[in-house]
Amino acid sequence: MNLDAEEIRLRLPHIELAGCLFGPKNGQPVIALHGWMDNLMTFARLVPHLRGLRILALDMAGHGHSAPRPTGASYSLFDYAVDALHAADFMGWQRFSLLGHSLGAIISAMLAAAMPERIDKLALIDGLIALTIPAQHAPGAMTAALSALASPKIRQSRAHPDRQSAITARMRGIVGVNQEAAERLAVRGLAESAEGFRWNNDPRLKLPSHIYLTPEQAHAFTRALSMPTCLILAEQGLLKVRPGVEQLLKELPLCVHQLPGRHHLHLESEQSAQAIAERFNRFFAT
């Protein structure tokens, strides 16, 4: 990471994760969780502008430089929450705050709702509520997940002939990013082999989930949040288009700031990163 960062390996009871530490050692403890198929470099623009925080940014399991889940294990929201708690214990942090983007924001909100005695504050970027399905669709979702896991060969990520081709593929991904954002994510996400350049995320991350929350369950987690929470909403992001989110945000005592930009606004634009940091610095200082 092209920042004043300390690389760290977290040998947890069940998995080994990679991370970076930023900020003063006596700063407020914060664990930062990135989005799906990203890595901790998603915070590369934002972190330099944050003040007074001791941030542990993680490559989540199966992403970046962290280990994948063991064979037979899955990438559920619950498992990511367990990882975050073990990471806090590894650091000796009984209480800490969470900074999350997208999937990382969803995990942060669910963990905070379930374990409020451990969490001081929540700082979220374009993420809050888990993807949901109606209860009657749950058996079919599990059928799809079991069938995918039973496949004799899970398709590996595509090998690209050169680095720029791999970066271009990330720019055109399911959630696209601009060139500079893709290049930053490539620092920890791209690996060279005899076949070419591959994104090193565990291919199982793309398999269907075995279980989803219902809308009622997902909203119950959000309504259970009791700690100060600051949410950055991207004008062209993904959270705004989720059904029922606009009404839910009106009902919750959250500090919400809507800013111009896409889903990765904190990484794609220096101006957006500074604007987010300005709001988060005020939030953490109060």
pLDDT digits (tens, 9 = 90+) for 103-133: 999 999 999 999 999 999 999 999 999 999 9
Scan for tokens 């700082």, then name that residue.
123
Amino acid at 29: P
Answer whether 62's CB lies under 8 Å from 69's CB. yes
Instruction: Please give the pLDDT value at position 283.
Output: 98
**CATH architecture of residue range(s) 6-134+212-285:** 3-Layer(aba) Sandwich (3.40)
Instruction: Please give the pLDDT value at position 23.
Output: 96
Read off the tokens for 26. Answer: 């006596």
Please identify which of the residues 66, 74, 76, 102 carries the catalytic annotation.
102
Is the pLDDT reported for residue 1 higher than 60? no
Global confidence as pTM: 0.96
Say whether 157 is catalytic.
Answer: no
Task: Supply the mean pLDDT for the chain.
Answer: 94
- Residue-wise pLDDT for 15-74, tens only, equals 999 999 999 999 999 999 999 999 999 999 999 999 999 999 999 999 999 999 998 888
Domain limits, the chain: 6-134+212-285
DSSP 8-state assignment for residue 240: T
Scan for tokens 């470099």, then name that residue.
41
